[in-house]
Amino acid sequence: MQNLVIPAAARTPAIHFDFSSNHLKVSGESYPEDVTEFYKPVFSALDAYLATLGSGSCRFDFELIYINSSSAKAIMMLMDKLDAAAAANGASVDIHWFYDVEDDTMQELGEEFGEDLESAKFHLEKMKADVR
């Protein structure tokens, strides 16, 4: 499967989906003009990948500095897809949410998302200083 790599832009995060190593990552800031348009190819690639995952394992890192209110919805949808894959085929899905220690808003948001996961494993972690 073709990896999905989108470099970060002024208002959109970097997407690094390395399907061959089962390591997926979204990082940076997200407040696109059109949330649906930006996340559409991201959702499609994730759907296609999860359909092939079976009972395998995958790791998804969220390393977000700032997201606006409409992006929060898109992030929730990514989480739901991962959780559904873990529930359906018993895939082992690890979600890591990295937050900047200097901004507890993003920590709280991570906790909010984590509470809703039923099958995927959620890890809340501090961002390393060089990422911020």
Partner 1 sequence: MLSGVGEAVKHKLALEDTDTKTQRSVFAVFVEQVQNMIRYSAEKIPSSEMRYGVLTIGHENDDYVVHAGNLVPRSDVVRLREKLDQIRNMDKEELRALHKERLRLGPEEGSKGAGLGFMEIARRASKPIEFEFIDIDDTDDGEHVFFALKASV
Give residues 100-129 in contact with partner 1 (rule: CB under 8 A): 100, 102-105, 108, 112, 115-116
Candidates 6, 8, 14, 76; binder of partner 1 (CB under 8 A) is: 76
83 binds partner 1 (CB under 8 A): no
43 binds partner 1 (CB under 8 A): no
Beta-bridge partners for 98: 63, 125
Rounded CA separation 53/65 (Å): 29
Task: Identify which of 66, 83, 38 has the alpha carbon closest to the alpha carbon of residue 132.
Answer: 66
Answer whether 125's CB lies under 8 Å from 98's CB.
yes
Residues in contact with partner 1 by CB under 8 A are: 10-11, 31, 33, 65-66, 68-70, 72-73, 76, 100, 102-105, 108, 112, 115-116, 132
